[in-house]
């Protein structure tokens, strides 16, 4: 395929206007509608559709502590026919050594007669679905059994999708590609009964060339089988075609998949040099000569190209051999570039490169590449320097699920998450532990987040019995190269991570060798960004960390299990290790890629409150209530190997060369509900699964947005029965000194000491009434806050993040329900049963309340409020416009109503 590789260079400074725009010879059709879906195989398949044989699962990994040492590598040899030999060639384009590429076996695999593959199979009884579709998110939850790790939702097993593809006779001679942004998992794709290819790893994006199997001028039958192994993840993976699927038509000579690479090697306020490499594929059996030219446009805030191009690369001609691919490299200079950088001090400006390919004067392809101009320097003494400005990493880890929407990607839901994170002051995210939907990186580009793009949670050694380790030997290269090629033009991506806490950390030189091989792949695809892998175990003097450009520590920086209670236990115990890594790697940037793993249940306060700054979750220390699956939100407790936010802040402040942190984690996610595996979702988010901030959110806001005058009081002040009992009050504030009053009586004025990040009045004796805090900063009045004892729940209130939404079937309104008392005060401990109804051109997609224990299926219109709140996610009915009404009611409560306008999106 890639028979020739040629580099051409030209330096041009531009002036001429862009060529006149006409319809592009390339078309991309999103295949969202028209699908039929079915769980399970037809009878008689007998394993013949399996990608490979799988080991027997002898022991569940459910509930295993996250930092348990990964087990041995397991490799099996299939003793019966499997589909693997037919699937492996799909990855060939991403295998550099031609000798290691896979040859498709002759003929067709013997799978017997599978009715689902027949064009005339009647699938009218199958469920009609629209993509993106997560087959497991609607539930029901599985309450019993060892399923907590994967979120208690039925994500594993087989699922089939079928869809007709009408391909016009006029398309004959074009290439027809199927582009899958992600399919969970072990996908095999069949067209008109013939196996085209597939891809095991559910988080990768991949392409199939359907052309040889297409009937032009006819209806074609597409069938996609997915096969999610049980025990294949430490979190909820989702299932099915959970990201977009595209039908892309091109000329036989066209820009390759992810065929452009933009870099900006020289950046200053006056000028930027933009390097552009364009790979063009020739799928014909004759050599061709093409001309390639590119215009560069500024993009406005809405992402639209503005006016004339600001630079151009004039046509460069080159030859491509039959069946080959040629890469042309050129550069341009952009004067006074509008740089991309993170807010609030910089702006995330973007550009668009429009590349045209001509053959004999005729435009045969037009390809658009969005990019940004920025310079990122890694300074071991300070950290990350973007366009000359030192940016402290205020990061969070993010899983791929979107709460009640599951794994099915939704741009608005992801944007909302980023907005909430931005409100806290976060400027960076780590994509734990897999490549995201490609649209997420469009959001981070547009919003100016710094991103660690990460590919694997395991290499050869397993964390769960059927995870990625089973395919690592054959697929690590295609998966890694696919991520790098897909994502390398995103200015928001600053660092590649090739692994998280992998078992190979424990393997000395052998583990480091695998790390070096992965880093080498990164270099080949992107010499401009560093590579890393996150380490919770490997120490500074071991071979493993030396394999990477940047030192990413999980929990080690603050020290792991240093408290006396952990003495003698057979788990990771590590003293605070930033200094050791700094000393061993004085030329490398060091930061915390996972910090904290603090735990809490929103709005839940347990007593007594520990006097410590950081403690594990135990029933006896005020951290947990294992009977009721609750963790205290005084925000002082963490997983055994983690630390409270306060303790992490102190560690960072003591070691100012540390570039910052990525907190575990931003939003609660489905699965991994440490410490209570009977629950559905995690306790580690600063924000709950529904998107409601926990108290911890304000602890980070106080540190990350020091200029915002804010103070947050906890707990709530509704404690009938606690009268006369000690009920500590803590205040999270960007101020440095405060006086607390209970019913007008001062409880004392306190000042933050060195390495203190909260103000705590631990002796307050509860009496109903009002808490009032007055806050100073630098001796000046800064802000104040109040919390009152409320009356009983009396009415409901609804508030939407957006009251006017589009009717494209994707846009969403997130409606927050609050339980109020008769005076209109939010009742922060209310748990009333509520019911949502939607009338007019909108529909209820899902509800939630952020309670990790709530096993009510997400689509349910009825739900208990939790700590005073519930959430309804509403979507416009596709194509319909007008006013919709969201109603909420609950027994004994005055109902609430909210109007939404549904209409066409621009």
Q: Which residues in this chain contact ligand GAL in the complex, by CB under 6 A?
A: 66-67, 234, 432, 500-501, 536, 554, 594, 597, 639, 664, 672, 674, 684
Question: How far does the chain reach from its first CA to its final CA, in angstroms?
Answer: 41
Which residue has 């509930």 as its token pair? 63
The enclosing H or E element of 874 equals strand 869-876
Q: How far is the CB of 433 from ligand GAL (least distance, A)?
A: 6
| Cβ neighbour number for residue 333 with a 10 Å cutoff | 18
DSSP bridge partners of 787: 771
CA distance 349 to 339: 6
Three-state secondary structure call for residue 648: helix
Helix (H) or strand (E) holding 136: none
- DSSP one-letter code for 438: H
Q: What is each CA distance from 109 to 221, 655, 698, in whole angstroms? A: 18, 59, 58
Of the candidates 594, 661, 672, 737, the residue annotated as catalytic is 594
**Catalytic residue from among 442, 460, 474, 501:** 501
Q: Clarify whether 594 is annotated catalytic.
A: yes
Q: What's the DSSP call for residue 484?
A: H
739 is catalytic: no
Shortest-Cβ-distance residue relative to ligand GAL? 66
Residues in a beta bridge with 227: 158
CA angle 850–457–240, rounded 5-degree value: 65
* Residue number with CB closer to ligand GAL (95 or 639): 639
Q: Is 418 exposed, middle or buried (0-12, 13-18, 19+ CB in 10 A)?
A: buried
Least Å distance, CB 665 to ligand GAL, is 7
In the complex with ligand GAL, the residue whose CB is nearer, 280 or 687, is: 687
Minimum distance from residue 118 beta carbon to ligand GAL (Å): 43
Calculate the CA dihedral of residues 645, 651, 657, 662 and round it to 10 degrees.
Answer: -30
CB nearer to ligand GAL: give 351 or 669.
669
b/e map of 628-653 (b: 16 or more CB within 10 Å)?
ebbbbbbbbbbbbbbbbbbbbbbbbe
The rounded distance, in Å, linking the Cα atoms of 202 and 189 is: 14
Closest to ligand GAL by CB, 261 vs 536, is 536
- Compare residues 305 and 666 and give the one whose CB is closer to ligand GAL: 666
Closest Cα to residue 239, out of 229, 247, 249, 254? Answer: 229
| Separation of alpha carbons 401 and 407, rounded Å | 4
Q: Which residues contact 183 (CB under 8 A, 6 or more apart)?
A: 199, 202, 224, 226, 240, 241, 242, 243, 245
Q: Which CB, 365 or 672, lies closer to ligand GAL?
A: 672
Least Å distance, CB 581 to ligand GAL, is 18
Q: How far is the CB of 550 from ligand GAL (least distance, A)?
A: 17
Let me know if 280 is exposed, middle or buried by CB neighbors in 10 A (0-12, 13-18, 19+): buried
Least separation in angstroms between residue 507's CB and ligand GAL is: 18
Instruction: Give min distance, CB of 397 to ligand GAL, in A.
Output: 7
Sign (positive or negative) of CA dihedral 461, 464, 465, 471: negative
Distance of closest approach, residue 500 Cβ to ligand GAL, in angstroms: 5
**What minimum distance in Å lies between the beta carbon of 543 and ligand GAL?**
21
Strand partners, 894: 795
Q: Give the nearer residue to ligand GAL in terms of CB position, either 479 or 594.
A: 594
Rank residues 463 and 582 by Cβ distance to ligand GAL and give the closer one: 463
Residue 468 CB neighbour total at 10 angstroms: 27
Nearer to ligand GAL, 681 or 860 (CB): 681
In three-state secondary structure terms, 487 is: helix
Angle at 482 between CA 481 and CA 488, to 5 degrees: 80
- Active-site residue list: 501, 594
């Amino acid at each position: 395929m890639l028979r020739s590789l040629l580099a051409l260079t030209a330096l041009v400074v531009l002036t001429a206007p862009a060529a006149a725009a006409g319809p592009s010879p390339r078309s991309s059709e999103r295949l969202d509608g028209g699908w039929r879906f079915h769980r399970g195989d037809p009878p008689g398949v007998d394993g013949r559709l399996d990608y490979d044989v799988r080991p027997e699962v002898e022991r569940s990994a459910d509930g295993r502590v996250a930092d348990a040492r990964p087990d041995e590598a397991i490799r099996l040899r299939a003793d019966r026919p499997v589909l693997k030999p037919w699937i492996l060639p799909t990855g060939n384009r991403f295998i550099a050594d031609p000798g290691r590429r896979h040859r498709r076996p002759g003929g067709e695999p013997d799978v017997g007669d599978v009715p689902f593959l027949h064009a005339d199979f009647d699938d009218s009884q199958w469920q009609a679905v629209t993509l993106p579709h997560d087959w497991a998110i609607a539930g029901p939850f599985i309450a019993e059994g060892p399923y907590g790790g994967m979120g208690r939702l039925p994500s594993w097993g087989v699922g089939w999708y079928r869809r007709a593809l009408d391909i016009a006779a006029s398309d004959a001679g074009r290439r027809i590609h199927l582009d899958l942004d992600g399919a969970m998992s072990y996908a095999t794709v069949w067209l008109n009964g013939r196996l085209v290819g597939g891809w095991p790893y559910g988080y990768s994006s991949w392409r199939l060339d359907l052309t040889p199997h297409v009937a032009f001028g006819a209806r074609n039958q597409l069938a996609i089988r997915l096969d999610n192994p049980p025990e294949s993840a430490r979190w909820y993976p989702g299932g099915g075609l959970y990201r977009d699927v595209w039908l892309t038509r091109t000329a036989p000579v066209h820009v390759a998949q992810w065929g452009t690479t933009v870099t900006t090697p020289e950046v200053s306020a006056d000028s930027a040099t933009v390097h552009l490499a364009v790979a063009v594929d020739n799928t014909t059996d004759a050599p061709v000569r093409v001309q390639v030219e590119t215009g560069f446009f500024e993009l406005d805030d809405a992402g639209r190209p503005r006016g004339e191009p600001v630079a151009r690369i004039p046509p460069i001609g080159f030859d491509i051999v039959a069946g080959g691919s040629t890469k042309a490299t050129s550069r341009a200079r952009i004067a006074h570039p509008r740089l991309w950088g993170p807010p609030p001090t910089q702006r995330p400006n973007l550009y668009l490169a429009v590349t045209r390919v001509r053959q004999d004067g005729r435009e045969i392809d037009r390809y658009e590449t969005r990019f940004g101009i920025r310079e990122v320097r890694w300074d071991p003494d300070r950290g990350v320097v973007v366009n000359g400005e030192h940016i402290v990493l205020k990061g969070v880890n993010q899983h791929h699920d979107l709460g009640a929407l599951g794994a099915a990607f939704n741009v608005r839901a992801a944007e909302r998450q980023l907005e909430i994170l931005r409100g806290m002051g976060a400027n960076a995210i780590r994509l734990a532990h897999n490549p995201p939907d490609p649209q997420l990186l469009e959001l981070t580009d547009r919003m100016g987040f710094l991103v660690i793009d990460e590919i694997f949670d395991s290499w050869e050694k397993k964390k769960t019995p059927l995870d990625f380790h089973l395919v690592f030997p054959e697929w690590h290269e295609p998966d890694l190269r696919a991520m790098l090629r897909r994502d390398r033009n995103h200015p928001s991506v600053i660092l590649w991570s090739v692994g998280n806490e992998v078992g190979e950390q424990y393997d000395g030189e052998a583990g480091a060798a695998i790390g070096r091989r992965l880093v080498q792949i990164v270099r080949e695809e992107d010499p401009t960004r560093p590579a890393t892998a996150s380490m919770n175990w490997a120490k500074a003097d071991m071979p493993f960390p030396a394999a990477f450009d940047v030192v990413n520590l999980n929990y080690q920086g603050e020290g792991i299990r240093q408290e006396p209670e952990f003495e003698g236990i057979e788990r990771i115990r590590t003293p605070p290790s930033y200094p050791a890594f700094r000393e061993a790697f004085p030329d490398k940037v060091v930061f915390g890629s996972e910090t904290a793993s603090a735990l809490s249940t929103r709005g839940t306060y347990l007593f007594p409150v520990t006097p410590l700054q950081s403690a594990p979750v135990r029933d006896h220390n005020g951290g947990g209530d294992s009977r009721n699956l609750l963790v205290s939100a005084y925000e002082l407790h963490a997983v055994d190997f983690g630390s409270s936010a306060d303790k992490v802040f102190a560690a960072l402040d003591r070691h100012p060369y540390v570039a910052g942190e990525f907190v575990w984690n931003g939003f609660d996610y489905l699965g991994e509900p440490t410490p209570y595996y009977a629950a559905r979702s995690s306790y580690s988010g600063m924000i709950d699964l529904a998107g409601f901030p926990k108290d911890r959110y304000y602890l980070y806001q106080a540190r990350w947005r020091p200029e915002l005058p804010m103070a947050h009081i906890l707990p709530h002040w509704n404690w009938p029965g606690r009268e006369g009992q000690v009920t500590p009050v803590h205040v999270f504030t960007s101020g440095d000194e405060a006086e607390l009053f209970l019913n007008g009586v001062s409880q004392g004025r306190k000042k933050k000491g060195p390495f203190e990040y909260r103000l705590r009045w631990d002796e307050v004796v509860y009496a109903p009434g009002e808490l009032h805090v007055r806050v100073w900063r630098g001796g000046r009045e800064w802000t104040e806050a109040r919390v009152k004892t409320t009356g009983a729940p009396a009415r409901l209130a609804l508030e939407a993040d957006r009251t006017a939404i589009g009717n494209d079937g994707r846009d969403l309104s997130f409606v927050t329900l609050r339980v109020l008392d008769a005076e209109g005060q939010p009742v922060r401990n209310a748990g009333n049963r509520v019911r949502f109804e939607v009338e007019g051109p909108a529909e209820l997609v899902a509800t939630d309340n952020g309670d990790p224990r709530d096993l009510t299926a997400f689509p349910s219109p009825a739900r208990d409020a939790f700590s005073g709140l519930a959430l309804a996610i509403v979507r416009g009915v596709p194509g319909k416009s007008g006013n919709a009404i969201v109603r909420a009611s609950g027994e004994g409560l005055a109902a609430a109503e909210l109007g939404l306008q549904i209409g066409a999106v621009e």
